[in-house]
Every structure is written in C-alpha cells, then in structure tokens.
Chains A and B, each alone.
Chain A
C-alpha cells in the first residue's frame, strides 16, 4: 500500500477579535490507498476543524497557520480556491454532518447529480449523465425511479445514501465523512456503514471517518486516531486500540460506553471537562482529568506522539519510546 494522503504538522484554528482558538494543534497523519481511518474524540476536540482544514473549506474566521496536506504529493494548502474547486469531488469529497440538509430541497435528485457532474465534465453529455446517475443510485441500493423525487420524499437514511452516492460521482480517491450516520436510527446506520464498506472494497477509495462514537468505529475502521484538545493522542490499528489502549484518555473514552451485552454494572464517565481551546498550557492537555497524571512531569512537558509498539502511536509520558510494558 502506498500513501495517499499525508498530513504534516497541521495547525489550524479560529481567530476572532477577542481570542484565538487553537483547534488543530500540530496534527500529523498518514492515510494509505484504500485505508479506512477513523478519527474519534469528544465535541470540541478539533475533529471537524481537521476535516475542513484538509478539504480547504475552513472559512473565515478559521485559518490554517502551518503544516502541509499532501494528497498524492500535492500540497492542498498551497492551492488557489479555483484549483481546489476543480479537485473537490474529483480527487476528494466530503460528506458532512447532517448532510441530508445538503440536498437542495427544490431540485429533484436527478438535477443534483447532473449539477455535480456537469461542473467537472467537459461535455454536457446528457446520456452519460443519466446512465451514471442511475448507476450511482443503484450503487447505494436506491431504485433509479427516485431520480424523479425531491429530497423531502426520501427518508433520512435514503437522503444520506444519496449524498454518499453524490460524493462518489466523480470517483474520488479520498472521501472524508464527518459524522455521516449520527442522526440516524441504529438499523439504518448499520445499513449505511455496510454500504460504505462494500463500496470501498469495490471502488477502492480511502475514507477518513470522523465520529464521537468510538464503539462504532472499532467495528468498521482499519486504523483509529483519538483526538483530544486538537491533538492526536493515540493512533493504532482498530483491534489493537480496542484490546490494548495505551493512553489514559482512550481508556476512559472506551469506559464511558456501556457495553450492550453482559451483566449490568455501574461505570464512570470522564471527570472534568475538555479544556478550553483558546488557552495553550504547557504540559499534557489531558493532565487535569487524567487518573494517572504525574505532577511535575505531565504538567510541564506536552508529550509527543511516538511509536511505542509496532504501528501503535501514543502521546503520553507513561510510555517511553520503544518500550511495551511500562505503566
């Protein structure tokens, strides 16, 4: 597998007249061709800002202040808005949170497919568009007769599938999905996740899937990155991360999901609140909430993300580089 996307030391945030919010702090991630990368974290950990920063959609007052986003070797940050517009949908696409509201309510589904394709297609080839639109709907298990329909005639799950079909219309190599199934019922949610997985195997694109629901991610992602206060604090293969979480935050996050099966037992959430992103403190951002925090060490130096086990990266002072069994 070769690397498709490389994010290097990305720094992004929001600048208002009163304060600066540091929402993405020095994030480096790599995504291989065909890989499914999940990013999980609480609200306000910077995961959506990261998605917007990657796709060049971060608008004022948001801005990228450093780093590189290399898609097939090309730095997206250096592109002009016009160049980015050309690349969007074609090279990468974005499925947003509550994306059912993305569809134009006064346009039939057919027009929305035509629109997307016409912008990027040199010729206005109506027959090709029609065939492709039908093919795309079938791809996501919706009957082509719904091309006639308006968005309000579709259920929430169907709209979400239409948006996914649109995102795949120009065969991008990367699809970024920001909480694509959060507003849906469990059964519909499972259906869409299965669909995404099938499509990925068939069409061989890569996915960055952003969600707060770690239990869902563990089942579908190849690799998971955990974000906290704008930083990636742990990254590993999904199974490895689930069975053997290193970072105290990852552990706490997993603990806060009651398991479905087994006996009922009291559990405890994570004490305290996520930190204010307008303030940069020395030391680990999780220090105040961390049950294993070491005063004098953790509140002095912010640990870097380092590989402590094969392909298992963690940013925590408890784990010196290369050692496996330290706690």
Chain B
C-alpha cells in the first residue's frame, strides 16, 4: 500500500512540470481482406495531444471515428503503425518485457463498455479484486482482504463484506461497473482509459457511475480518457473535449467552449443532433443524409468535406492542418479564423 502511494506522489510532483501523457503523430492502420485483395483501414491518423496529471479528457465521435482504437493504443492493446506514446516523458517501446508490462499496467488501466462481459462469471468479486493485488505484489496475506474491502467501499459497494463472495451475475449492471472500476483502481493507476463506461447502463445509474469516477479523480488524482458518443456526458465529465472524425482529431479545447461555441462544422452537427430540451423544445432540422466516409478510401482533402455545409475548394484538395487558433484551442478547419 504505502510504496504505491509514495510512488504516485513522486509522480505527481514530477508531472507538475511534465505531461502525464504525450501522443505524437500516432496512426493505426488495419489490413483487412485476404488473398492479394487486402485493403487498408486507416483507423487513426496522425493524432497529437497531451494530457496533464489529474485531467479528464473526453474523446467524442461517432462509431468508426477511431476513438476506441486510439484508447487501445494508449492502453498497449494495439501496436501503433506510426508515432509515439510518452508516459511521464518516457516513450513506451514497441515491445515491453513482462516486468515492463506490469509496470505499465500499474500506471494505465482500462474500463470497458460492457460490465456483463468484462468480469469472469465464475470468479467471485473478492477473487476478481484480489488478482491485481497479487499479480502486482501490492499486498499479501490478510492485507489483501483489507484492501479489497477498502476498494469496494471506495466504489460505493457497501457493506463491502456482502459483495466479496458474490458472483458477477448476482449484481446489477451498475454494481458490476463499480466492480470493474474497483479492479482498475486496485493498482492505484495514474491514468484510466474508460471506453464508453456508461453507455450500457440505465439512465438513472449513469450519473452515479460518472460521479464515482469524478470523486476518484478528486480523491486519488487519477486522470481519465473518457470515450463517449454522448456530448452531454462528455461535457459533464471532462475538463477538455477532443472531437474525432474518420480517425483525425478535428477539434480540441476546454469543455465549456467546445460545447457552447463549437467551431468545427462536424462538432456543430453533433451538437445540433444531440437531444437538448433545455434550449427549446422543438429542435431545428438537421441535415443527416450523409454517412461517414469509407475508412479504406479516405479522400485527399478534408474527410468531412462531403458532409460539410461550409466546404470550400481548398478543402477538397488538401487535408487541412490541425491548428492552434487560441491558447490550447485546436481546430482542423481552414474556414475557422485564428483568434487573437
């Protein structure tokens, strides 16, 4: 217990000067098809961003925008095709030894969408939560039990003793997702990659899970990359929002600004399409006729050009650069003028 916390405190002090995570020119291609007819899917293209310790960043985009692929690369589940990922200013190498891998997993953990399939149905909750402690040698003997109870309580599963011997099927979806969060928390990570952690849950439970994650951020200083297609949820959770489209980052900035005053036409479309009864009851008509581009044959210009109401001639010829138009505010659209 103690050494973990002190390591993290040390890391915290370090990270005041550095970023927790730095992503440089990250790309991922998948080969599909076979027998000489292979095609390349450009899932993530040239992604750059930085994450501070204790910060929550939301990755928002529709299915196929590359947000999950990006998170999986950061979580060392996919190998990037190009680019680097730095954690505390250290590049994560292409191949990690088992020891390095364990070290990495102690810092970066993942939470998945479906709490029904991310817990082994044959293992008790107590066993599930004790595994990371044993694998990472974070506790031994009676200390394991004490830490498991502490984790359950921290994640709102009270009285904890009642949950230890239960199997996953005896818990509701919300309770299972709490167990998944507790399991990620067991190694006291610095970064949690949460891939749509609330989309399978009931509306009344979603807010509880988001609140739990925010509480843990405040108590433990954990950073999150929160993946979602729900703009309202992203706004609620995140300090900054990154909008992805067809594998590219298209807009990045502080949550309030991205939501209340989106600059990229795609973000504007997302905002128009999202339910928002607070802004008047009958929504305006949104043009939704176009579909997402084919990721195996991306256009030469802006990938959003075919759907964009403000498309210019230049957009069709060349991919617009991802520009910083104001301090910490980035947009990939030539039509957006730089702010002073």
Task: Spell out A's residues near B (CB within 8 Å).
Answer: 42-43, 141, 155-157, 185-191, 194, 212-216, 218-219, 238-239, 242, 252-253, 256-264, 266-270, 273
Q: Are A261 and B278 in contact (CB under 8 A)?
A: yes
**Contact among B207, B269, B289 for A258, CB-based, below 8 A:** B207
With A215-B277, A219-B277 as contacts: A187 and B288 at CB distance below 8 Å: yes
User: Which residues of chain A come closer than 8 Å to B279, judged between CB atoms?
Assistant: 260-261
**Contact among B233, B255, B286 for A191, CB-based, below 8 A:** B286
With A190-B273, A219-B275, A257-B232 as contacts: A269 and B281 at CB distance below 8 Å: no
With A189-B273, A264-B256, A268-B207 as contacts: A258 and B233 at CB distance below 8 Å: yes
A263 to B255: give the CA distance in the assembly, Å. 10
User: Which residues of chain A come closer than 8 Å to B236, judged between CB atoms?
Assistant: 258, 264, 267
With A212-B202, A242-B277, A269-B206 as contacts: A185 and B62 at CB distance below 8 Å: yes
Q: Are B256 and A263 in contact (CB under 8 A)?
A: yes
A269 to B236: give the CA distance in the assembly, Å. 13
| A187 shortest CB reach to chain B, Å | 5
**Contact among B203, B210, B276, B281 for A214, CB-based, below 8 A:** B203
Q: Is B8 an interface residue (CB 8 A)?
A: no
User: Which residues of chain A come closer than 8 Å to B271, judged between CB atoms?
Assistant: 260
User: How many residues does chain B have at the interface if contact means C-beta atoms less than 8 Å apart?
Assistant: 43
Q: Is B63 an interface residue (CB 8 A)?
A: yes
Q: Are A260 and B259 in contact (CB under 8 A)?
A: yes
User: Which residues of chain A come closer than 8 Å to B275, judged between CB atoms?
Assistant: 213, 215-216, 218-219, 260
Q: Is B97 an interface residue (CB 8 A)?
A: no
User: Which residues of chain A come closer than 8 Å to B203, judged between CB atoms?
Assistant: 42, 212-214, 253, 256-257
Q: Are B277 and A141 in contact (CB under 8 A)?
A: no
- Closest 9 pairs between A and B when the two form their complex, measured CB to CB: A191-B288, A258-B236, A190-B273, A269-B207, A185-B62, A218-B277, A215-B275, A260-B276, A269-B208
Q: Is B172 an interface residue (CB 8 A)?
A: yes
List residues of B (277-299) whose CB comes within 8 Å of A's CBs.
277-279, 281-283, 285-286, 288-289, 291
A180 to B174: give the CA distance in the assembly, Å. 23
Q: Are A260 and B282 in contact (CB under 8 A)?
A: no
With A263-B256, A264-B235, A270-B204 as contacts: A186 and B273 at CB distance below 8 Å: yes
Given contacts A253-B204, A260-B278, 6 further A-B contacts (CB under 8 A): A215-B276, A219-B277, A260-B275, A264-B256, A267-B207, A269-B208
Task: Spell out B's residues near A (CB within 8 Å).
Answer: 62-63, 172, 202-208, 210-211, 214, 229-233, 235-236, 255-256, 259-260, 269-279, 281-283, 285-286, 288-289, 291
Q: Are B235 and A260 in contact (CB under 8 A)?
A: yes
Q: Are A157 and B211 in contact (CB under 8 A)?
A: no
A194 to B281: give the CA distance in the assembly, Å. 14
User: Which residues of chain B come closer than 8 Å to A190, judged between CB atoms?
Assistant: 272-274, 283, 286, 288
User: Which residues of chain B come closer than 8 Å to A189, judged between CB atoms?
Assistant: 273
**Contact among A156, A186, A239, A264 for B281, CB-based, below 8 A:** A239
With A186-B62, A186-B231, A266-B211 as contacts: A273 and B172 at CB distance below 8 Å: yes
**Contact among B204, B286, B291 for A157, CB-based, below 8 A:** B291
SS class, residues of chain B in contact with chain A? helix
A231 to B230: give the CA distance in the assembly, Å. 29
Residue of A nearest to B232 (CB): A260
A185 to B244: give the CA distance in the assembly, Å. 14
Q: Are A260 and B274 in contact (CB under 8 A)?
A: yes
User: Which residues of chain A come closer than 8 Å to B235, judged between CB atoms?
Assistant: 258, 260, 264
A155 to B63: give the CA distance in the assembly, Å. 11
Q: Are A186 and B211 in contact (CB under 8 A)?
A: no
A218 to B276: give the CA distance in the assembly, Å. 9
User: Which residues of chain B come closer than 8 Å to A264, judged between CB atoms?
Assistant: 235-236, 255-256
User: Which residues of chain A come closer than 8 Å to B62, judged between CB atoms?
Assistant: 185-188
With A253-B204, A256-B204, A263-B256 as contacts: A187 and B273 at CB distance below 8 Å: yes
Q: Are A261 and B288 in contact (CB under 8 A)?
A: no
User: Which residues of chain A come closer than 8 Å to B260, judged between CB atoms?
Assistant: 261-262
With A186-B273, A260-B278 as contacts: A269 and B205 at CB distance below 8 Å: yes
User: Which residues of chain B come closer than 8 Å to A215, judged between CB atoms?
Assistant: 232, 275-277
20 contacts between A and B (CB under 8 A): A42-B202, A42-B204, A186-B273, A187-B270, A187-B286, A190-B283, A190-B286, A213-B275, A215-B276, A219-B275, A219-B277, A219-B281, A219-B282, A238-B281, A252-B204, A257-B203, A257-B207, A260-B231, A262-B278, A268-B211
A264 to B270: give the CA distance in the assembly, Å. 19
A269 to B274: give the CA distance in the assembly, Å. 21
| B316 shortest CB reach to chain A, Å | 22
Q: Are A269 and B231 in contact (CB under 8 A)?
A: no
A257 to B282: give the CA distance in the assembly, Å. 18
Residue of A nearest to B273 (CB): A190
A43 to B274: give the CA distance in the assembly, Å. 22
User: Which residues of chain A come closer than 8 Å to B214, judged between CB atoms?
Assistant: 266
User: Which residues of chain A come closer than 8 Å to B276, judged between CB atoms?
Assistant: 215, 259-261
User: Which residues of chain A come closer than 8 Å to B172, judged between CB atoms?
Assistant: 273
User: Which residues of chain B come closer than 8 Å to A268, judged between CB atoms?
Assistant: 207, 211
User: Which residues of chain B come closer than 8 Å to A214, judged between CB atoms?
Assistant: 203
Residue of A nearest to B209 (CB): A269
Q: Are B288 and A258 in contact (CB under 8 A)?
A: no
| B236 shortest CB reach to chain A, Å | 4
